[in-house]
Every structure is written in C-alpha cells, then in structure tokens.
Structure 1
Amino acid sequence: MLRGLAVALLLGTGPAWASTPFQRGMVSITLDDGWPSQFTAARPALNARGIPATYFLVTEGIRNGWTGFVTVPQVQTLISEGNEIGAHTMTHPDLTTVSATQVEAELRDSQAWLATQFGLQAVPAFASPYGAYNASVLTTLQKYYGSHRTVNGGQNFKDSNILQLRAHEVNTAISLNTVRAWIDSAAADKSWLILTFHQFVSGTPTQSTETNIGDFEVILDYVQSKNVDIVTVTEGVARMDGLTEDPAGDTIVYDDSTGDGFTDWSWATHDLDSRTVVHNGLASISAELDGWNALFFHHTSGLDASQYSALELWVNGGLSGGQGVRVAFYDGSQLLGSVRLDSLLGHPILAGTWQRVLIPLSTVGLSTGTVRDIYIQDDTGWDQGTVYFDDVRLVRSSTPPPGTPPFPLYADGLGSGFNDWSWATHTLDEHGTVHAGTSAIALEPDGYNALFFHSSTGVDLSRYKSLTLWVNGGTAGGQIARLVLHDGSQTLGEIRLDEALGHAIQPGTWQQITLPLNTLGISAGTLRDFYIQDQSGGDQGTLYLDDIQFLP
C-alpha cells in the first residue's frame, strides 16, 4: 500500500481554473487552409448574414497559385469585406516533427508574406496545422503572434490562455445538435466558442473534413438566433485578460475539456461535458469504467516526465462509490508506471464526495522518460457505477519563481515615476464616470491634442507581455484616438483604440482593451512616453479611461 505517499483531501477547494465569464457569450467562425470552397460556398453564406470570419491561410499554396487554394485576388476580396486573415504556416507541416529552424521559418515567413502581400498592419492570429504543438513551438510562436488557436475542444473565458485557444472542429462525426449544444453553452455560460471548418460541398460529404453548405447555413442561422456576439479571433482575444500560461505553470490534462496538447482517445463510455456532478468550473468527466475499459488521454508530442512532480485529479464515486480505478502512464506502448486510486486514498472511492488525489510520480517509479498517454482504467473487469473526474493536471517539479508584478500606469493616479505632460484638456481625477476604484481620466480628444504621460527612467517592456486599459465613450462614443508607446526618441508601437476594440468606441459603456505587446511589434525597449492622441482633428466628445496597466 502507498498510503501516506499521496495527498487526499475531502470536500476541498480546487485550483482556480480559467472560468471568468465575458459580458456576453461569443462565437467565432474560423476556416482553415484556404480551400477554394471557402470563397465560393462559405463566403456567400457568411456575407448574406453579415458574419465576419477568420481565415487561417497556408501561404505557399496561395503565393504559388497551386490548385486547391484560394487566389491572391480572392484573399484581397475577403480582406476588403471585413474578414480577418490569420497565418497557418507556409507549407502546413506538423510543427512538432520539424527542426527548430524550420518552425521559426514557417511561423515568421507566413506572417511576413501575408502582411507584405496584402498590406496588413499586423497578422496577430495563428493556428497550428493538425492542431499539433508543443512547448518549443509555443515559445517560438509567441515571438510573432498574439494568439494561437488549437483544436483542443472546449470553451474560452476571459482568463483562458491566449496561446492555447480552444476550438471545436466541425467535421462529419459532429452532428448539428452537437454544434447547437456548443452554441447554447456559449450563450448560457458567457464563454467564447470557436468553430473550425475546412472544405464545403453542396451534396453529401465524402471526406471527414467536408461540411455540407446547407448544414453550414443552419449553423450560422442558429448562431444569429442566440444572445451572443459574433467576433473574429483577434476581436475575441481583445476581450480577454492576455494570459499566456497556466497561473501555476502546470500542464492541464482536463478542465472542462482536454487541454495543453491532450486529445481524447478513450474507449470507455464517457462524457467530457458532464454538467450534473462538477467539482469546479462548468463540466466534469463522467465515465463507465467497466470491463477493463479506460479513459485515455494522448499527448500529441509527449511530455518530459522529469519536469513534473505529480499528477493531480479530483474523483467522485457518484451514486455507488467503491470503483476500482487504476491510473497508468505510458510512452506509447511502454508502461512507465501505474497505481490504483483507492490504494493512494487509503480507502475506497467515496460516493457523492469530491476527493483530491495527488499522485507523486516518484511513487510509481516515474522520474524520467516521455509521458505520451495517461490512462484512467477499470481495474476490476466488472460492471461498476458511474465515476466522475475533474481538474486533472500534471504539476511542475518546482514552484515557479515569483513573476514580475503588473505595472499600473494609471489606477486612481499615475504610476510610479510618471508625470503628466498632457496638452489636451483633461483631468486625472474624474469621479462621475469610473470603472474601478475612486477616479478615472476624462479626456477631450480634440484638434490632435493628446494625453501624454512621461517618465525619465522609463519602464522595461521586455518584462511585460500585454497592455490592458478600459475605455468609455461617454455620451457621444465613436471617438477616434491613437495609442502610442514611445521611448523618447522613436515610436515602439501604436494602434487606434477603435481598431484595437474591433469596432467603434461605445457610448456609456466601459470596454476593456487587451493588447499583446508583440502584436504591436514590441518585444523589448524602454517606455518613456505614453500618448493617447486625437486622430480626427475635430471636436469630439469626452472620452474616459481607467485602469491602464502592463501585465507580465
């Protein structure tokens, strides 16, 4: 027995998984690769309903005019009609199987060609081919992109990881009712649903990645019938908190859906979206672990076991309890180690109670090697009652060092070291229209005047990943103003506030803008001057700003 070698806590509180809702649910339509039918079939259906989409394009096929890809003029039309263009590499390789040099080239050069060919100011959105990525790929893509869409199923929230956005791939195995249920959940949970499509046909699909255009239209009509916002990927990311990793640095196996490169290869009867018995968040896993059947989570590239100290999960025995369940770790066909949950708990799995189980990897003889597969398997061979699992993660070997704290440029007053050099009419002590705290900034953005904050020492931007601020259009809305980050001698990055929002500044409403700094071309540099400047030259209504901060 391994009693005492694991931790089991009854009725405790789990980790703070991503679950902060948006003000409204959101849905995004994404189309991968650049198939001709996306232009000839999907585009008319989208345009007829006024729905913008994000097209993730494989650039070499388009650049060389290969058969089976949209053309350069067609992409230009998509852009002119208000759609977003994202990168999907140059040649569509599995990025986990090629060299680091090739990964860099695929990510860098596809973005550069799209920006140059189509005159795009930025190409911040990326989707990995086949949904395949690993830690090395994420590190590289973070140099070029502000978001990464995966095909890990599930919903996104304000505090989800923008480098591992979850998306549901719609293919021939997915029913219309399933898609409707996903959309219903986005509306009810105020979450963000990203749907991914490939090819479109007018008749019966003959390939798994094909979608009947009539079914596509049904999905679009259903989205429009619900209380959700339809956004491009970058518009959705702008409403998020800008987080780029799990707060603890751990690897998620499951939290409301599979995560961090894991896919569901289970052969047991199960549901990854069970809403009846939930430990934390919105959903859990319900499983019928009978006759040696198993939950089976496969990692696309494998994980270095030496980087982790334990597997943590929560288990609930449902109505019966007492299930015999074994957790096993594999490197493909090679068993690395296994243990029964009841032996770790020191007692049977309890009915109707959530219990935390921490499995130190050293107790199953796992200190090195590559973990590619995690099994949660029946260990009795008999018929057992439904058992529930939630919040499954691999825990890093050591607690990460304390991170850089956020830098508040304005929160009821200017941040440390900054002085107000503004020449626009303004106040830093507005009390009538405030987002949080006691004060906000009221600015009259007229005649090219500007809000201007200066620091002689500056802020090292290499320590931060994003800038977030809140704006309110006051009684007028629609203000046109540009945000500029400057080091005293040159501009580091700039963007109009309405472009950052993806729409005009709204009157009477606080709206959050989150800007990953790399989407502005900033990876280093010293911020000494912060401008928000009128771009209209005319007389505009009062604009309110609050809670301006840089996030690590």
Structure 2
Amino acid sequence: MRKLLVLLTGLALILTLGGFARADGFDRGLVTVTFDDGWTSQHTNALPILDKYGIPATMYIISGSINNQPAYMTQAQIQDFANRGHDIESHSVTHPHLRELSAAQLNVELTQSQATLRQLFGPKVATDFASPYAEYNDAVVAAIKRVYKTHRAFDDDGTDNSGFNTRANYNPYNLRVKFVESTTSTATVQGWINTAKADHAWLILAYHEIGENIGGDTYHTDTAALDAEMRAVKDSGLGVVTISQGAAEIAAQAAGN
C-alpha cells in the first residue's frame, strides 16, 4: 500500500509539472498580441510578421487619427487588418488623460470613438477598450462599462501575478497587460510566455511602434525583435486569441462552473 501511495504521489507531481493548470489557472494558457494607437509602422512592419506566423492581433485605434496624420494608419490600412481577421478596438478619439476629463468629455471620448470605428469598419468592431496612457480610476471604469465589454488596464499591482490574468484575479474591466518596450528583451517575453503556459494564465502583450520611433520614447520595438517574439508566441503551445476571443472563452468557462 505504501509503495502504491508513493507511486500515485509521484505520478501526480509529474502531471502537475507537465503543464496541468494550477488551482487558480484557466482551462488552458492563453496569449494575446495587442497594438496601440494605430501607427503606420504597425501596417508596414508588423502586419507581414503577423501574417508570417498566423498571429491574430487586437488593434486599439485612436479614431481621431485615422486619415489625419502620416504617422498613423489610414482607413484602408486598418481595413487591411480587419480583412485578415484582426480585431479593431477602441483607444479613444484623441488619446487624452481620461481622469482629467469631465463626465461629458469622457462620454464623448468613449462613445464617439466606438461610433466612428463602427461607421468605418462595421457594427461588430469596437467592443473592447484600452485606456490611453494606461490611466483610469473608478469613474473612468464605470463609464467604460456602459459602452464596452472589456477594458485593458495595466500591470501595476506589484504582486507576483502582475501582468498575468488568472482565474483568481480575473476582471474583464481590469485586464492585466505586459507592455513590450524598446528595453524589453525577447528573453523577457519568452519568460512571460513560459509563466503563462505553466500557470494556465492569460498573457496580454502590448506593442506600439514597430521598427520606428516617431514618438521619441521607449514605446517601440525593433522589427527583428517582433519577429522573434511572434515566433515564440506561435511555438508556445498557448491558445493564441484576440481580446474578444479570450474574454469569450473565459466567460464560457465561468458559465460552466
């Protein structure tokens, strides 16, 4: 009997180490690739890489920048993403600091962005939102809930789960995210992927400019680095989903419990 117990204990340990979910994990690990703002370099430099590895992305678009500035995508370029199955989502009209707006101004940024994106790209887009500068408070989130199904927030809680969405911490209006910047190594991204796989967590990656740095800050990624990171995503064994797909999958799991 003792030998049997030892064997069963050892088998349980092997299965756990082999990738079965932790108690607070989802049914499987997920990874989502998102791009903010709608920079032209995302079409020029990122789209061919997404095509290469078959990665569906979520594009958070500043609606007021469409067709207005050469640094940002045109309607036709964003439509190119939509035609290839990528999600087109909202990132406000003018990319303001939402916490500094009046209630009326905030409502315009949320509703007009959605209305414009749906007018340009169809009634099924712009169901999800990401706050500019990753800034928000309770009033902002309450307003977002009246318009959108999810809100991508920020990795700022300082815990071991920072940046990873798990069954224990999941909130569709506080989706945790890992921002990939010029200082973020591919090895770091690979480590995040490994953690999501081991914990059956949902990893959301956020990119900005690709192969350019018009913004003059750290929010850009070399094209070669994006290629390596998308290859890592492709080879990860994780479920590669858009924001809307991930939220729907998790909602279905919750409904089944």
User: TM-score, with normalisation over the residues of structure 1?
Assistant: 0.40
- 1:385 matched residue in structure 2: none
1:139 aligns with 2:142: yes
2:3 alignment partner in structure 1: none
Correspondence for 1:207 among 214, 217, 237: 217
Partner of 2:61: 57
Query: Which residue is equivalent to 2:44?
Result: 40
Q: 2:154 aligns with which of 139, 151, 154?
A: 151
Task: Summarize the alignment of residues 230-269 of structure 1 with structure 2, pairs less than 5 Å apart.
Answer: 230-241=240-251
Contact 1:126 1:148 in 2 (8 A): yes
C-alpha distance in 2 between matches for 1:43 and 1:198: 13
Name 2:124's counterpart in structure 1: 121
Structure 1 gap segments, 5+ residues each? 1-18, 242-467, 469-511, 515-546
Give the conservation status (yes or no) of the 8 Å contact 2:60–2:130: yes
Shift of 1:57: 0.1
Q: Per residue, is there more strand in 1 or in 2?
A: 1
CA distance in structure 2 between the aligned counterparts of 1:234 and 1:166, rounded to whole angstroms: 14
How far off its partner does 1:65 sit?
Answer: 2.5
Q: Secondary structure at the match of 2:104?
A: helix
Aligned partner letter, 2:230: L
Task: Write the letter of the residue equivalent to 2:35.
Answer: L
Q: What is the distance in 1 between the residues matched to 2:217 and 2:117?
A: 29
Q: Which of 80, 83, 88 is 2:83 aligned to?
A: 80
Q: Please, which runs of 5 or more residues in structure 2 have no aligned partner?
A: 1-22, 156-161
Native 8 Å contact 1:238 1:513 kept in 2: no
Aligned residues: 228
Q: Read off the aligned partner of 1:199 and give its amino acid letter.
A: E
Q: Is the partner of 2:129 in helix, strand or coil?
A: strand
Q: Decide which structure has the larger Cα Rg and report it.
A: 1
Instruction: Answer 1 or 2: which has greater helix percent.
Output: 2
Q: 1:224 corresponds to which residue?
A: 234
Letter in 1 for 2:116: W
Give the superposition deviation at 1:21: 1.2
Deviations 1:461-486 (A, max 9, x none): xxxxxxx5xxxxxxxxxxxxxxxxxx
After superposition, residues 22-421 of structure 1 pair within 5 angstroms as 22-62=26-66, 64-152=67-155, 153-159=162-168, 160-201=170-211, 207-241=217-251
SS at match of 1:54: strand
* 4+ residue runs over 6 A deviation: none
% identical aligned pairs:
35
Q: CA deviation at 1:166?
A: 0.3
Q: Which amino acid aligns with 2:130?
A: A
Structure-1 separation of matches of 2:216 and 2:118: 35
Alpha-carbon separation, structure 1, partners of 2:184 and 2:223:
15
Secondary structure of residue in 2 paired with 1:96:
helix
| Larger RCO: 1 or 2 (CA < 8 Å, sep 6+) | 2
Q: 1:513 to 1:85 in 2, by over 3 A?
A: farther
CA distance in 2, matches of 1:223, 1:108: 33
Residue 513 of structure 1 and its aligned partner are, at CA, apart by: 8.1
Q: Quick one: which amino acid aligns to residue 148 of structure 2?
A: Y
Letter in 2 for 1:38: Q
Check the 8 A contact 1:157/1:240 in 2, yes or no. no
Contact 2:88 2:125 in 1 (8 A): no
Q: Is the 8 A contact 1:89 1:129 kept in 2?
A: yes
